[in-house]
Amino acid sequence: MEDLKNKSLLRRSESDGGFEPVIRMDQVGFAYSRDSFKLNIPKLSVGKSEKLGITGPSGCGKTTLLNLISGIIKQDSGSIRMGDIELNKLSSQDMKDLRLVKMGLIFQQFELLEYLNVVDNILLPFRINPILSLEAETRERARTLATSMGLGDKLKRFPANLSQGERQRVSVARALITQPELLICDEPTANLDPVNRDHILDIIASYCGENKTALVMVTHDQEILNRFDRVQDILEFSNYKDPRRHE
Ligand SMILES: Nc1ncnc2c1ncn2[C@@H]1O[C@H](COP(=O)(O)OP(=O)(O)OP(=O)(O)O)[C@@H](O)[C@H]1O
C-alpha cells in the first residue's frame, strides 16, 4: 500500500474534529462455519477520543469482534472501515501494515519476547516491519514512555525478571510506541491485582485522552466498564445462547 509506505496515513487528519469515526462497522455478518456461532452487527462505530467498552458472557463473540476490527479475520458480509479504508479490500500484507501503523493491540497474555529487554520489546513493531523506521528519536521515545510507566530503572531487564504488572506495562508501551489512532485491548488487566489493574487503566486512559486515541476494550469487570463513554454488550449481536438466561 503506497499510502502506508509513504506514511501519509501515519498523519492524523486535523479536520475531522473528533466526530469522524475511527472505525465503523455496517451490516457486518460473520460465522466461523455454517450453522455455528454467528455475529450480526447492524452498526457499530468508535470516534476519535471515544472509549468503547465491550462486554458480554463468555463465548458471545467479544474476541471475534476485536479480530474483525483489527482485520485478523474478515467478515462474510457488510463493511468495516477505518477512516476511508475498507478493511476487507486490503491484501493481507497491507492489512498487517495498517494494523502496525494505525492500531495498538494489548492482550490478556502480555506476549513479550523473552530474549529482548524492556526497551527492545517496546520497539518490536519497528523491528518487524520496514515501513516503520527505527530512529534514535524512536528509541528515546521508548525510554521516555517506559519511564513514564514507572519502568525507568528496568529498561535493560528481560521479561523473566519483571513482575506481572511490569510485564503488562511493557506490552502497553509497545502498543503505544507507534502512536496508534485506535487502541484495541482484550481483557488487558485480567491477570493483574487491583492495584496493577488500576495503574494500567490509568496509563491507558491518560494516553488516549492526551493523544485523542480511540479505545476499544473488552472486559467483564463492571468497575472497569464504568470508566467508558459507551458500553456495548455483544450478546445483542450474536446468536449465542446464554445458559444463565432462562427463556
Ligand atoms: N477459530 C474458531 N473456529 C470456530 N469457532 C470459534 C473459533 N474461535 C471462536 N469460536 C467460537 O466462537 C464463539 C465466540 O468466541 P469468542 O472467543 O469471540 O468469544 P468471547 O466472547 O471472546 O469469549 P471469552 O469471554 O470466553 O473470551 C464461541 O462459541 C467460540 O467457541
Report CA(34)–ligand 1 centroid distance (Å). 15
16-237 belongs to which CATH class? alpha beta
Report CA(64)–ligand 1 centroid distance (Å). 6
Q: Are 28 and 40 in contact (CB under 8 A)?
A: yes
Q: Are 36 and 64 in contact (CB under 8 A)?
A: no
Q: Could you give the CA distance from residue 187 to residue 54 in angstroms, rounded to a whole number?
A: 10
Q: Could you give the CA distance from residue 96 to residue 100 in angstroms, rounded to a whole number?
A: 6
Going by CA atoms, what residue is nearest to atom 31 of ligand 1?
Answer: 59
Q: Could you give the CA distance from residue 63 to residue 40 in angstroms, rounded to a whole number?
A: 14
- As given in the structure block, the three cell numbers for residue 36 are 455455528
CB-defined site of ligand 1, < 6 Å: 32, 37, 56, 58-64
Type of residue at 189: T
0.95 surpassed by complex ipTM: yes
Best mutation site among 62, 66, 75, 218 for ligand 1, i.e. most ligand atoms within 8 A of its Cβ?
62
Report CA(24)–ligand 1 centroid distance (Å). 22
Best mutation site among 28, 30, 32 for ligand 1, i.e. most ligand atoms within 8 A of its Cβ?
32
H or E segment to which residue 62 belongs: helix 62-69
Q: Name which of 207, 200, 153 is nearest 178 in CA terms.
A: 207
Q: Could you give the CA distance from residue 188 to residue 247 in angstroms, rounded to a whole number?
A: 33
Longest Cα–Cα distance in the chain: 61
Q: What is the pLDDT along the chain (247 residues), one digit of tens a residue?
A: 444 444 333 334 444 444 578 999 999 999 998 778 999 999 999 999 999 999 999 999 999 999 999 999 999 999 999 998 999 999 999 999 999 999 999 988 878 999 999 999 999 998 887 777 778 889 999 999 999 889 999 999 999 999 989 999 999 999 999 999 999 999 999 888 899 889 889 999 999 999 999 999 999 899 899 999 899 999 999 988 866 655 4
What pTM, to 2 d.p., does this model score?
0.88
Atom of ligand 1 nearest to the CA of 218: 22
